[in-house]
Each structure stands twice: as C-alpha cells, then as structure tokens.
Amino acid sequence: MDYNHGKLLNKGDTVGLTAPAGPVKADKLEAAINVIKEMGFEVEIGQTCFVNYGGYLAGPPELRARELNAMFANPNISAIFCLRGGYGSPQLLHMLDYELIFRHPKLFIGYSDITALHIALQQQSKLATIHGPMPASDLIEADEFTKAHLQNVLMHPRQLRVMKNPGEKQIGCLVPGFAQGILTGGNLTLITSLLGTPYEIETKGKILFLEDIAEEPYKIDRMLTQLALAGKFSDVAGIILGTWTNCTSKEGQESFQVEDLFEKIIAPYNKPTIYNVQAGHCKPALTLPFGEVAYVDATNKTFLLGV
C-alpha cells in the first residue's frame, strides 16, 4: 500500500495545535505554544486547546472531530500537532472525514492515546503519520536529542535512516532474523481497545511497534494474549518493542515481568523481534515515521526506516 506523506516543514510554516484527547491548563498551553515557536513555526491554536469537558476531555467529541477535519482542510496549515494524549481519541474515529483527509495529506504528530488516530488515518486515509513527542506533555520539557530527532523527521528529506537509541541504552534481540515491512502500531492499550471495531489494526506483512506505560504485568499479559488470539503476531513480518515505563508489579508482589511476557507470548511466533527501542513514554525519545518501510535486522540489533 502506498501512503500519502504530508509536505515536509520549513521554518516559518504554520502548524495547527489541536487537543483530540485530554485537556491542559493555561500555563502548559502557553508553554506548548512557545516551544513550537522556538522550533521556528507559526501556530494556529484550535478551540479544543482551551476547553475542559468533564475533567478529562478537551471538549465534546463533535468539537474535537470537527476541529481536526477543519485543520486538515485548511490550506494555511502545513502540519498538525496533537497537544497531548490522555484519553478520548477513539471517540472521534466515526466522525472524521477520511476522504477529505486523503485529499489533504499533512504531517500529523502524536502518540499514546493518539494511537487510535494513527491507525484510523493510516488505514482509512492512507496517511503516513508520525509517532512523536507532543507539545504540552513532552516538548516543553524535552531534551535536545528528542527535539532534534523530531525536527529531523519533520524537516529533512526522507531517506534511509539508521535508528539509534540515545545515550548508552542498547537495543536487544528477542528473536533473531531479518524482516521488512511498513511500520505501524503504537500504544498497546489503544491497539487492543480497537480490536473488533472497524478501526482494528491491520498487521499482515507489517512491522508492528508496541509500547505502553503504567500497566501492571498481568494487564500487559492480557493485552498481548488478546493480540495473539486475534492473529496479530502470526501475520506480522517483524516486531519492534519500545519502552514499557512503570510497567512493573506492585512492590512485594510476586509476578512475571514484562520481559518474561515477551519470551512467553511473542517469541514463540518466531518473528524477527527487537526490544528496548527508546520510543514511547520515555525521555529522551525517538520519533518514528509510521507508513515508511522498516528494515529490522534483529540478529544485529538494528533497524532502519526509509521511504
């Protein structure tokens, strides 16, 4: 499948800032706007960025969906940043104008709860999206590696990139071998929540990326098992496992750990698999362009991304 790639950004371009999931306080919104301007872009701020609806949503679903549709349709907006994650993105999926979005492809950036939108936009609008840091939850406190890697993906010509972890963190091999395929995936909780819906993730022949945060091992076990029963590991080309921040058992509780679950649930499918890729709820973090071809050399603990 050929994916539509939004136009790369240049300094001075206008980006839309929208909140398709959770709300933020005024001080964080101001800081988020400032950090985007410091990156060299102008900002068009969506109404959702100012709304708190029910304490955990940035407005009614209709408002959030309408705003996202409008930002894709707006010719003055070159890319769309999701303000933060939280909860609420799946509420929009049946309200988005996927044909409009197909006709107006743009860079779309976010992660975590935004995974629901990544999957829907990839599969319904053939849009290549970007799993990357968000202004209010990440960029206002981001390190230089995280900012630079994001800007490289947003602004530099698409080419084959060797993806390397920041610092001393090493990528590990769970299952050796080589695989290539379109990169898709995101947050495990969101991916699992879409199973059985029209927006269920398509993994056949693809490289599946997974990450999560603050889920105890038994919950990770349940979700990985559900993906396995749904056939999502049997039909992938390969797997990239990101960070699993605070996904540990309660203190004093005897339990498998996440790494044990990878061995028990994922490894038996014998798909080339790497782990400890620094992408997800971590600092510093890699930006992953979904919709590009990923080349996973699990034996040598490396992967590349390219058009």
Would you name the residues annotated as active-site residues?
112, 211, 281
**By three-state DSSP, how is residue 131 classified?**
strand
Q: How many angstroms separate the CA atoms of 290 and 185, rounded?
A: 8
In angstroms, the CA 265 to CA 234 distance is 11
Evaluate whether 3 touches 126 at the Cβ level (below 8 Å): yes
**304 DSSP 8-state letter:** E
Neighbours of 196 (CB within 10 A): 10
Query: Could you give the CA distance from residue 80 to residue 72 in angstroms, rounded to a whole number?
Result: 8
Calpha distance 20→22 (Å, rounded) = 7
- β-pair partners for 184: 208
Q: Which residues contact 142 (CB under 8 A, 6 or more apart)?
A: 35, 133, 283, 284
Contact 24, 83 (CB under 8 A): yes
Rounded to an integer, what distance in angstroms lies between the CA atom of residue 55 and that of residue 71? 24
Longest dimension (CA), the chain: 56
Q: Please, what's the b/e burial string for 130-145 (b: 16 or more CB within 10 A of its CB; e: otherwise)? A: bbbbbbbbbbbebeeb
Pick from 128, 133, 107: nearest CA to 286: 133
Q: What is the amino acid identity at position 71?
A: M
